[in-house]
Amino acid sequence: MLHQLVPMYEMEQQLRQRGYCAIAGVDEAGRGPLAGPVVAAAVILPIDYRNDAIQDSKKLSPLQREHLFEEIIRVAVSYGIGKVSAAHIDKTDILTASKLAMRKAILKLQPLPDFILTDAVPVNIADIPQMPMIDGDARSFVIAAASILAKVTRDRDMHSFHKKHPHYGFDQHMGYGTPIHLKAIEIHGPCRIHRMSFAPLRSIVN
């Protein structure tokens, strides 16, 4: 049985001792914002790869994340990115959309993993065994790497949206419900990437 609390590399080492080789870390970014997609990443790293700079993306600066993003995609055995739009989130719910984004990311891996580690959220892919880990991005090396890929990809998307909709300040808050963002919505109303099923936007359509 695997231990519940392990150092950053130990979970993957325990799984390899059990015969698993292609271990994928999976994480998502953007469950909480009022605008933009939810983005998931899946990554398989070389068995002997170590990089102590890789950790939970929330603990890194934007510049650190950008540098590590390039490093991770350079060394990865395989990686995949999955995105689900705000419109799809509104049609379902954020948890369902997050699982769909994760599934999309995993299915882009070549080869497919023989074990999946996720950050808390379970996602069923065929018969591939998995382990959802609470605070996985702080406890698993491959989940932390996935968290960086997901966060950087989503931030880049929000910067692109900012060029099309500059009055919302997406490049500053990445779609989160900051006072600046809420004030912009009050003045300009929502745009096509806003999640109308999220409060306080929900009150606009009700």
CATH superfamily ID and name for 10-205: Ribonuclease H-like superfamily/Ribonuclease H (3.30.420.10)
pTM recorded for the entire structure: 0.94
User: How distant is the alpha carbon of residue 197 from its chain centre?
Assistant: 21
Mean pLDDT (the chain) is 94
The half-sphere exposure of 163 on its side-chain side, counting CA atoms within 13 A, is: 5
Task: State the DSSP H helix or E strand holding residue 116, giving kind and residue range, or none if neither.
Answer: strand 115-119
pLDDT at position 169 over 70: yes
- Comparing C-alpha atoms, which of 138, 122, 141 is closest to residue 130? 122
Tens of pLDDT, residue by residue over 127-166, are 899 999 999 999 999 999 999 999 999 999 999 999 999 9
Euclidean distance between CA atoms 44 and 76, whole angstroms: 6
Euclidean distance between CA atoms 85 and 201, whole angstroms: 16
- How does residue 5 score in pLDDT terms, banded at 50, 70 and 90? very low
* pLDDT average, residue stretch 37-45: 98
Distances (CA, A) of 27 to 81, 85, 104, 155, 186: 10, 17, 12, 15, 32
